[in-house]
Amino acid sequence: MKAAVLVFPGINRERDMARTLRLVSGRAPAMVWHTEGELPAGTDLVVIPGGFSYGDYLRCGAIAARSPVMDAVRRHAAAGGLTLGVCNGFQILCESGLLPGVLMRNQNLRFICREVYLRVERSDTPFTRGYNAGQVIRVPVAHGEGNYIADSETIARLEGEGRVLFRYCAPDGMIDPNWNHNGAINAIAGILNERGNVLGMMPHPENHVEASIGPTDGRGLFAGLVEALARAA
């Protein structure tokens, strides 16, 4: 796997992400500064990590979405390259138009950092092949604006095309408003683009990969990506 992790001013989970990519794939990712016009040659996975790019001033991800490096990401995605946006990365992908919809303030208007349960809706994507469909995984969230919203037409399309990959759920996998901490519509935690090569998600699988630190349910996502890329190669 030849991963590139984008670094915008104010991004702050790039180290977490880089460590996880290194641990799972055995190879350190390239760290790519926001002013770069090109991704490193041979990049097969672009990761936009979490944080507060540009302080999340104006709107989350809005300013970063308009950085030069995002044009390179658009080209990468248009060519079918795998792209993962986590938390602020998801917000940036939405703001840049690579994914539909918007992430609004959490329903209770507070920042929330806690472990949540996610139901993996499909396992037949490069991002979820490390899981079984219907599997419930435990991963942390840490965001103030993760409340996914889109117009009803978009939601209908996302649902109809099976593009909702992760949903907030109860520990038994049931969808339950009490377990949807931010109020996202249809409990949506992560979505794919139409082509299936761009994933945006609010939770942080990269923070749950080491047994000595805590649960390891996030590992499957990265292990699955490594496998998918190895097969493609």
Partner 1 sequence: MKARVTVTLKSGVLDPQGKAIEGALRSLGIKGVASVRQGKVFDIELDGGDPAKAEAVLKQAADKLLANTVIENYKVDVLG
Partner 2 sequence: MIPNTPPITPELIAEHGLKPDEYQRILDLIGREPTLTELGIFSAMWNEHCSYKSSKVHLRTLPTKAPWVIQGPGENAGVIDIGDGLACVFKMESHNHPSYIEPYQGAATGVGGILRDVFTMGARPIACLNALSFGAPSHPKTRHLVSGVVAGVGGYGNSFGVPTVGGSVRFHTRYDGNNLVNAMAVGICKKDEIFYAAASGVGMPIVYLGSKTGRDGIHGASMASAEFGEDSEAKRPTVQVGDPFSEKLLLEACLEIMAKDCVIAIQDMGAAGLTCSAVEMGAKGDLGVTLDLDKVPCREERMSAYEMMLSESQERMLMVLKPEKEEEAEAIFRKWGLDFAVVGETTPSLRFVVKHQGEVMADLPIKELGDQAPEYHRPFTDSAKPAVIDAASVEPPHGTIEALEMLLASPDLCSKRWVWEQYDHIILGNTVQRPGGDAAVVRVQDGPKGLAMTADVTPRYCEADPFEGGKQAVAECWRNLTAVGATPLAITDNLNFGNPERPEIMGQFVGAVRGIAEACKALDFPVVSGNVSLYNETNGKAILPTPTIGGVGLIDDFTKSATLAFKCEGEAILLIGGNPSWLGQSMYLREVCGREDGAPPPVDLALEKRNGDCVRALIADGAVSAVHDISDGGLLVAIAEMAMASGIGAVLLEGVAPAHGFWFGEDQARYVVTVPAAQADAVIARVTAAGVPVSRLGTTGGDALSLVGERPVRVSALRERFEGWLPAYMAGGV
Q: Which residues bind partner 2 (CB under 8 A)?
A: 9-10, 12-13, 15-16, 19-20, 51-52, 54-57, 110-114, 140, 142, 144, 204, 206-207, 210, 212-214
Considering the rule CB under 8 A, would residue 149 count as an interface residue with partner 1? yes
Considering the rule CB under 8 A, would residue 15 count as an interface residue with partner 1? no
Task: Find, among 177, 166, 102, the residue nearest to 134 by Cα.
Answer: 166
Residue 52 binds what, of partner 2, partner 1, none (CB under 5 to 8 Å, by partner type)?
partner 2
The residue range among 116-124, 147-155, 163-171, 189-197 that interacts with partner 1, by the rule CB under 8 A, is: 147-155
The residue range among 76-84, 99-107, 200-208, 212-220 that interacts with partner 1, by the rule CB under 8 A, is: 99-107
Considering the rule CB under 8 A, would residue 54 count as an interface residue with partner 1? yes
Question: What's the CA gap between 122 and 114, in Å, rounded?
Answer: 24
Q: Residues 179, 168: contact at Cβ < 8 Å?
A: yes
Closer CB to partner 2, residue 15 or residue 157? 15
Considering the rule CB under 8 A, would residue 112 count as an interface residue with partner 1? no
Kindly provide the b/e burial profile for residues 82-114, where b requires at least 16 CB atoms within 10 angstroms of the residue's own CB: bbbbbbbbbbbbbbbebbbbbbbbbeeeeebee
Q: Which burial class, exposed, middle or buried, applies to 41 when counting CB atoms under 10 A from its CB (0-12, 13-18, 19+)?
A: exposed
Residue 147 binds what, of partner 2, partner 1, none (CB under 5 to 8 Å, by partner type)?
partner 1
221 φ, ψ (degrees, to nearest 5):
-65, -45
Q: Using the rule CB under 8 A, which residue among 22, 27, 38, 66 binds partner 1?
A: 66
Chain Cα centroid distance, residue 40: 21
Contacts of residues 151-155 at CB distance under 8 Å and 24 or more positions apart, as own/partner, are 154/100, 154/101, 155/185, 155/186
Q: Using the rule CB under 8 A, which residue among 23, 104, 170, 223 binds partner 1?
A: 104
Tokens matching residue 19? 């460590």
Choose, from 87, 121, 169, 208, the residue flagged as catalytic. Answer: 87
Task: Tell me the catalytic residues.
Answer: 87, 204, 206
Interface residues with partner 1 (CB under 8 A) are 54-55, 57-59, 62-63, 66-67, 95, 100-102, 104-109, 147, 149, 151, 183
